Amino acid sequence: MKLIKKFITLTLLLATIIPAIGGLETAHAAEDKKLKIVASYSIIADMVRNIVGEHGEVYSLVPIGTDPHSYEPLPGDAQEVSEADLVFYNGFNLETGKGWFDDLLDVTDKKDVAFAVTEEVDPMFLTAEGKENEQDPHAWLDVQNGIKYVELITEKIIEADPEHEADYQENKEKYIISLEELDQYAKDKIAKIPEEQRILVTSEGAFKYFSKAYGFQAAYIWEINTDNQGTPDQMERILNIINEGDVKALFVETSINPKTMETVSHETGIPVKSKIFTDSLAKEGEEGDTYITMIKWNIDHIVNGILETNE
Ligand SMILES: [Zn+2]
């Protein structure tokens, strides 16, 4: 049954692509060619926009506020991928739920121009029994890894469009200066929290890389969004951690149903201090709608949220 459903979905996606391919060449020849770049989710899309600037158009597959671990591509998504000069995705086990991203590359035949932005990042691994060989995807929450993403993105864009190399290099240098400042800002601000209070409780265990980089202990209800969410075992485990530790604030991610964290708050009497961003940017026009402002939001709200409880 599952296979049949998959086949029907793929057939539907293909049916929308084939007519699109016919018109492709004339459309490209008609205008001054801009790079067409697809990113799997909003955070990578923002990094790509910072580098490609006016020389390209960027399309994000997973909409803002939605979970990239598991996503059902729309026919329009397949069309965007089929027309793309470059496709960027996170890799490290992020876009794996029901194989949605691999299926999309298969059906559009775009594997050759698809690149994982984590190529140069040292992976961390899941810790659950039996999953120790699976990579944890959330590397971008350490800004130094974000810089590695940006370097890889720039390299691939230059390979695809060497004519504008100077512009891409300049955009990269400016952007990386801002990212280095952001990384330092995070380190300085976090240093204000007493070490024993640096415990970050979220729904998903998305903060491994962040915690390692910025000196936190990460606690969570479930380890990765493709797990079952909020099972009795998970609830027992997180309630024990909270009861044993000096936890004063809970946080909930914007791309996750807040219900389970609200239950934890209710059971422990510890407040949910703020929403934070992990797998998605904020909506356009809102605070946190770029990679830089989402990280800054997280730092400010995590640090202030924990320090407020000391007052
Ligand atoms: Zn996640």
Is the pLDDT at 15 greater than 60? The verdict is no
In the reported structure, the alpha carbon of residue 211 is separated from the centroid of ligand 1 by a whole-number distance in angstroms of 15
pLDDT digits (tens, 9 = 90+) for 119-151: 999 999 999 999 999 999 999 999 999 999 999
pLDDT digits (tens, 9 = 90+) for 28-50: 443 468 999 999 999 999 999 99
In the reported structure, the alpha carbon of residue 94 is separated from the centroid of ligand 1 by a whole-number distance in angstroms of 7
Percent of the residues in the chain that have a pLDDT greater than 90, as a whole number:
85
In the reported structure, the alpha carbon of residue 224 is separated from the centroid of ligand 1 by a whole-number distance in angstroms of 6
Is the pLDDT at 66 greater than 50? The verdict is yes
Mean pLDDT of 112-118: 98
Mean pLDDT of 270-298: 97
What is the pLDDT at residue 246? 79
Burial of 206 (0-12, 13-18, 19+ CB in 10 A): buried
In the reported structure, the alpha carbon of residue 90 is separated from the centroid of ligand 1 by a whole-number distance in angstroms of 11
In the reported structure, the alpha carbon of residue 293 is separated from the centroid of ligand 1 by a whole-number distance in angstroms of 18
Domains of the chain listed by start with CATH number: 2-182 (3.40.50.1980), 193-308 (3.40.50.1980)
What is the pLDDT at residue 310? 74
pLDDT band at 10 (very low <50, low <70, confident <90, very high): low
What is the pLDDT at residue 143? 98
CA–CA distance, 42 with 48 (Å, rounded to integer):
10
What is the pLDDT at residue 211? 96
pLDDT digits (tens, 9 = 90+) for 163-178: 999 999 999 999 999 9
What is the pLDDT at residue 309? 81
What mean pLDDT value characterizes the chain?
A: 91
What is the pLDDT at residue 245? 82
Q: Which one, of 222, 205, 178, 173, lies nearest residue 278 by Cα?
A: 205
- What lies within 8 Å, CB to CB, of 70 at 6+ separation is 97, 98, 100, 225, 226
pLDDT digits (tens, 9 = 90+) for 220-278: 999 999 999 999 999 999 999 999 887 889 999 999 999 999 999 999 999 999 999 99
What is the pLDDT at residue 23? 45
- What lies within 8 Å, CB to CB, of 270 at 6+ separation is 242, 247, 248, 249, 250, 264
